Structure 1
Amino acid sequence: MSTPPTNSSKNSSLPTPFSLRLTFEERATLEKEAGNQPLGAYIRSIVLPDTDTPRKVRTRTRQPLKDDQALGSVLGELGKSRLANNLNQLAKAANTGSLPVTPDTEKALQDACGAVQEMRNQLMKALGFPIAKGPP
């Protein structure tokens, strides 16, 4: 029986890693099937089903997002908005002194800040963080 290959490093006692190229679709399928299990551990359990070798390396479990729908909503709104471009235009106008600060302008800026705060709150909720009340 042959011995498994080892790393070329003299100080390493870990086996040589094995690499496998997958298409995006193949990887997505495997990740979906793996659920919260790390992908490597899932593949190992499929390829070597009767082997229950304890791993020396601590494995992490993937944590699903708290609310995928809320996160998708935020990302969709950010994609539709031209937030970065608009902020850049506002900064340029403010720096050149060409931005008149009228009550309408101030209200529009406050509305925009409120929308950004709402997106922040939805993102925090989707990621499972507590939402702060009041101004940031």
Structure 2
Amino acid sequence: MSKKTPPFSLRLTFEERARLEELAGDMPLGAYIRRKVFDGQGLKKKRARARSRRPIKDEQKLAQVLAMLGQSRIANNLNQLAKMANLGTLPVLPDTERDIRRACADVALIRRELLRALGHRTDVEPS
């Protein structure tokens, strides 16, 4: 039975990490560092499937969107609607139901687009 080697940790400044990620391009950061440290002469080991890195086109804009979502009351408002519906105090007329379904679709679209902007697959349901 072989024991796994414990991971090695390295603290970097924000600027150092950003520079390394820039230099790594599409290569996973760990693989890039390993290649540089061992000058491409590291031990051959079973290669894990490399995940592709998809850079975020506008990180500042993404940060703004995430901040706005965090400051919004969307989650709280949806929770209040669900509570009222469960208690039977929300009159669910056809127009109300249509508006709620449209809001849910909008939230799902926002989630999909944010995940896509972050480089995650959006064709699978969350577990």
Query: What TM-score, normalized to structure 2?
Result: 0.59
Distance (Å, rounded) in 1 between the aligned partners of 2:115 and 2:92: 32
Partner in structure 2 of residue 96 of structure 1: 87
Sequence identity of aligned pairs in percent? 45
Query: 1:102: Cα distance to partner?
Result: 4.2
User: Paired residue for 1:85, among 69, 76, 87?
Assistant: 76
Query: 1:124: Cα distance to partner?
Result: 6.5
Residues 77, 108 of structure 1: alpha-carbon distance in 2 compared, 3 angstrom cutoff: farther
List runs of 5+ in structure 2 lacking aligned partners: none
Distance (Å, rounded) in 2 between the aligned partners of 1:105 and 1:60: 47
Report if aligned partners of 1:65, 1:128 keep a CA contact under 8 Å in 2: no
List runs of 5+ in structure 1 lacking aligned partners: 1-10, 131-136
Residues 113, 45 of structure 1: alpha-carbon distance in 2 compared, 3 angstrom cutoff: closer
1:91-130 pair list within 5 angstroms = 91-102=82-93, 105-123=96-114, 126=117, 127=120, 129=122
Distance (Å, rounded) in 1 between the aligned partners of 2:73 and 2:52: 31
Partner in structure 2 of residue 29 of structure 1: 19
Residues 61, 55 of structure 1: alpha-carbon distance in 2 compared, 3 angstrom cutoff: same
Query: 1:58: Cα distance to partner?
Result: 1.1
Report if aligned partners of 2:84, 2:90 keep a CA contact under 8 Å in 1: yes
SS at match of 2:2: coil
Report if aligned partners of 1:31, 1:39 keep a CA contact under 8 Å in 2: yes
Distance (Å, rounded) in 2 between the aligned partners of 1:120 and 1:20: 32
Structure number with larger C-alpha Rg:
1
- Counterpart AA for 2:54: L
Distance (Å, rounded) in 2 between the aligned partners of 1:18 and 1:66: 25
- Counterpart AA for 2:45: K
Query: 1:94: Cα distance to partner?
Result: 1.4
Query: 1:104: Cα distance to partner?
Result: 5.1
